Amino acid sequence: MSAVKITEGIYAVGINNPNMRVFDIIMKTDSGTSYNSYLVRGNEKTALIETCHEAFFPQYLENIKEVCPLEEIDYIIMNHNEPDHSGALAKLMALMPNAQLIASQAGSIYLKNITNIENLEIHRVKDGDTLDLGGRVLTFFFAPNLHWPDSMFTWVEDAKTLFTCDFLGCHYCEPYTFDTCIAYPKAYDAALELYYGAIFGPFSSFVRKGLEKIKALPVHPDFICTSHGPVLTKNGKLNEVLSRYEEWSAPSVNKIPVIPVFYTSAYGNTAKLAEKIREGILEAKPYAECETYDIIEHDMAQLHTLINRCNAFAVGSPTLNRDAVAPVWNLLAGVDAINSARKPAMVFGSFGWTGEAVGNIQARLQGLKMNVFGEGFKVNFVPTEEDLEKAKEYGKSFAQSF
Ligand code: FEO
């Protein structure tokens, strides 16, 4: 991709990466991504907003030079400093040592350790600070946790253009710059939702604050220039994407307590415990929604949604080679650690030899700062009628504890 004009004096100079299939280790990116970067020109000064992934530096440099020589760039504004945006910064700074680097206070700390440039000088802006480029004023609005604590928006009022970095973006790549040209809208919608869930799902209260900041702008933006995916335009998907974010970030409150019982079972013994624990939970809270879920029989993404929206849960595993089994760890890998602190949880399982699974799961849940109930409930091999009755009582006590 080469440079593309967005509106008067604003150019996209970023990079397309159609081949990326996994982002941040865990996130599938079936439609690749882009590392968007923008040049904003005033009558006297020029600012570059974000850089790009280090791997694409040579082409990135060519894109910038299509708009202006490097020596004409006075400022590099880093709205957010994850290395997909800051990776090329050290190389760029080496070529333009007189450019002033601009970031939030948190961003300035991260940048020192990302670039490892000694005595890196950074101008730290505060919420609401402005920067005059000559006939064009940029305003910085803090937008913490969208996606890191360093994040901020840059607003160019005369051009009705807002730069939001990750916020409202998605991992999606086509040869086009604008949302009015999206060739595969279903793929874009899927990428937008996946990105929201993975990046902003844990920060919904911050998303709502970010949306409020956009609503409070003196005029509604014509363009929202994100740093991944197409530029959002008022005649394209801008308002639709804002609405989707409103919908996804709305607080959800369960009308009745939701207390799922997750388990895996090699020979049906942990499954029997799961059923009795469910009965016990319902004895204590007959109005609760309490179902058992054999983890390997369900879609993992749906189980992740459930474990994060529930009020409490129980999880059971047999012990295999001194540990819980992989499906249980996969389930727990989807726990939203930021919003799950103090959630009540209990652990159970049947074992044959040594029975480490229950303790290991308990340790994991304690590491997530959950309220883990008791010592967990373990049975050796096949549960007797007495064991099953104890399992029921354990489930009941668990449900009475919150
Ligand atoms: Fe695209 Fe949070 O970086």
Tens of pLDDT, residue by residue, the chain (402 residues) = 689 999 999 999 999 999 999 998 888 899 999 999 999 999 999 999 999 999 999 999 999 999 999 999 999 999 999 999 999 999 999 999 899 999 999 999 999 999 999 889 999 999 999 999 999 999 999 999 999 999 999 999 999 999 999 999 999 999 999 999 999 999 999 999 999 999 999 999 999 999 999 999 999 999 999 999 999 999 999 999 999 999 999 998 999 999 999 999 999 999 999 999 999 999 999 999 999 999 999 999 899 999 999 999 999 999 999 999 999 999 999 999 999 999 999 999 999 999 999 999 999 999 999 999 999 999 999 999 999 999 999 999 999 999
**Alpha helix (H) residue ranges in 24-177:** 57-67, 83-86, 89-95, 105-115
Q: Is 82 in the pocket of ligand 1 (CB under 6 A)?
A: yes
Ligand 1 centroid to residue 276 C-alpha, Å: 45
Residue 199: DSSP 8-state: I
Q: Is 84 in the pocket of ligand 1 (CB under 6 A)?
A: yes
Contacts 24+ apart (CB under 8 A), 180-183: 180/233, 180/235, 180/236, 181/230, 182/230, 182/236, 182/237
Amino acid at 245: Y
Q: Is 85 in the pocket of ligand 1 (CB under 6 A)?
A: yes
Closest ligand 1 atom to the C-alpha of 199?
2
Q: Write down the pTM of the prediction.
A: 0.90
Identify the helix (H) or strand (E) that includes residue 348.
strand 344-351
Q: Which atom of ligand 1 is nearest to the CA of 228?
A: 1
Give the DSSP H/E element, type plus range, for residue 24.
Answer: none
Of the candidates 65, 37, 41, 71, the one whose C-alpha atom is nearest the C-alpha of residue 51 is 37
Phi–psi pair at 130, nearest 5 degrees: -125, 160
Q: Would the CB of 147 count as within 6 Å of ligand 1?
A: yes
**Separation between Cα atoms, residue 242 and residue 227, nearest integer Å:** 16
CA dist 131 and 137 (Å) reads 6
Alpha carbon nearest to ligand 1 atom 1, residue:
166
